[in-house]
């Protein structure tokens, strides 16, 4: 969640109106592409600069009580964690970028620095990210940094270590949220013996770097659109509105087939019961030929400067065709747009908006 200072997510009224995973499984997991590209007329664009930040994938924006937005994302070199801050969302486009942590030269956390998220928990800052050993670059796991300074661009980032899950398998894309006083971690991981790359998992937390109790599987790739190129559910993000929790996630290979799915749970339900979560059978946010945006996904949520309007944060490319491995293509750009709400209280993602006519103006 991108909420202020560890505030539990609460329902409210509607607003108006990675990857190449388990690389060796490519041949076994590849399926024929299912045409999913929409061509519907785009909804009126929000007054945001798009792309907001170029060459930054898996974006996460946290609005804090100090009046600033904090931004982090995957750098295409996969070697560092960066932060920006601004008093406005558009201001993140030109805000100075600071490197707050770099990968290790050898050993753990030495390769594939992916998908950082910044969260404020209990008066401290935490960054969750994925990394692999320098000597075994696909043994990717979830790691945590901590900073006790009020300004995360200052102070010292302490390595709190690996988030230990039930298995030592490919795992990434951790996000954390609170609901009714309980903190949860959601993440993507390969389950031993399963014919997929990653499924989505949920667990309660004992502290910001330790899970407690069981971990449950929320979703596994099962629909054709989740299995194009790779069988992937990853990049979860949570928003609570209108008496429900909505968990978005991304699916398929990281090319133009990348898209977003949605899980929904009632706010009164036991979140640790898999039966509490229902899964949309079709993707909720996909590539769009009309607006020229491809592979939208790995989103987060934040709130506009008015404190009420929900904002969708995600990455996409400006072209469909990619030469070579999509992970070697650096042009996944951070984008933002207003998140709408339907009369039934469910999110209206619309389509990825077109580029701003004069980006950076």
Question: Which residue reads 């042009």 in tokens?
Answer: 331
Catalytic residue among 6, 97, 173, 234, which?
234
CB atoms within 10 A of CB 85: 22
d(Cα 320, Cα 255) in Å, to the nearest integer? 7
d(Cα 256, Cα 63) in Å, to the nearest integer? 30
Percent of residues in the chain assigned helix, strand, coil, to nearest 5: 5, 45, 50
**For residue 168, what are the CA distances in angstroms to 141, 233, 245?**
8, 18, 29
d(Cα 263, Cα 280) in Å, to the nearest integer? 6
Catalytic residue among 6, 58, 173, 338, which?
58
8 Å CB contact between 134 and 107: yes
Question: Which residue reads 């709190």 in tokens?
Answer: 160
The angle formed by the CA atoms of residues 261, 249 and 143, to the nearest 5 degrees, is: 170
8 Å CB contact between 261 and 280: yes
d(Cα 193, Cα 3) in Å, to the nearest integer? 36
Q: Residue 208 corresponds to which tokens in the numbers above? A: 């910001």
Active-site residue flag, 222: no
d(Cα 349, Cα 361) in Å, to the nearest integer? 25
Active-site residue flag, 234: yes
Helix or strand or coil: residue 287? coil
8 Å CB contact between 121 and 6: yes
**Could you tell me the strand order of the sheet in which 233-241 lies?**
233-241, 244-251, 259-266, 277-279
d(Cα 10, Cα 181) in Å, to the nearest integer? 11
- Rg of the chain in Å (alpha carbons): 19
Helix or strand or coil: residue 225? helix
Active site residues: 58, 234
């Amino acid at each position: 969640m991108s909420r202020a200072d560890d505030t539990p997510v609460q329902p409210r009224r509607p607003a108006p109106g990675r990857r190449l995973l388990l690389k060796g499984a490519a041949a076994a997991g590849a399926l024929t592409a299912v045409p999913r590209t929409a061509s519907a007329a785009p909804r009126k664009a929000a007054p945001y600069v798009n792309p907001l930040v170029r060459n930054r994938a898996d974006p996460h924006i946290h609005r804090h009580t100090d009046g600033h937005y904090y931004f982090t994302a995957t750098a295409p070199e996969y070697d560092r964690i960066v932060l920006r801050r601004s008093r406005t969302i558009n201001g993140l486009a030109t805000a100075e970028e600071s490197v707050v942590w770099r990968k290790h030269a050898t050993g753990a956390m030495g390769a594939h620095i992916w998908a950082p998220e910044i969260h404020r928990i209990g008066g401290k800052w935490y960054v969750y990210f994925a990394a692999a050993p320098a000597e075994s670059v696909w043994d990717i796991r979830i790691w945590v940094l901590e900073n006790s300074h009020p300004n995360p661009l200052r102070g010292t980032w302490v390595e709190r270590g690996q988030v230990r899950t039930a298995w030592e398998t490919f795992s990434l894309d951790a996000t954390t949220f609170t609901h009714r006083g309980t903190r949860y971690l959601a993440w993507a991981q390969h389950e031993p013996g399963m014919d997929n790359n990653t499924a989505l998992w949920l667990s309660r937390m004992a502290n910001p770097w330790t899970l407690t109790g069981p971990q449950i599987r929320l979703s596994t790739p099962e629909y054709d659109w989740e299995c194009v190129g790779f069988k992937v559910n990853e990049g979860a993000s949570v928003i609570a509105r209108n008496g429900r929790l909505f968990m978005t996630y991304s699916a398929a290979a990281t090319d133009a087939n990348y898209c977003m799915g949605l899980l929904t749970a009632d706010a009164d339900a036991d979140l640790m019961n898999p039966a509490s979560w229902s899964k949309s059978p079709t993707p909720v946010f996909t590539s769009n030929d009309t607006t020229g945006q491809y592979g939208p996904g790995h989103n987060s949520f934040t709130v506009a400067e008015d404190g009420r309007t929900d904002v969708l944060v995600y990455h996409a490319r400006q072209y469909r065709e990619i030469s070579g491995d999509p992970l070697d293509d650096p042009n996944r750009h951070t984008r933002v747009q207003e998140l709408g709400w339907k009369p039934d209280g469910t999110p209206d993602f619309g389509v990825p908006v077109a580029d701003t006519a004069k980006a950076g103006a």
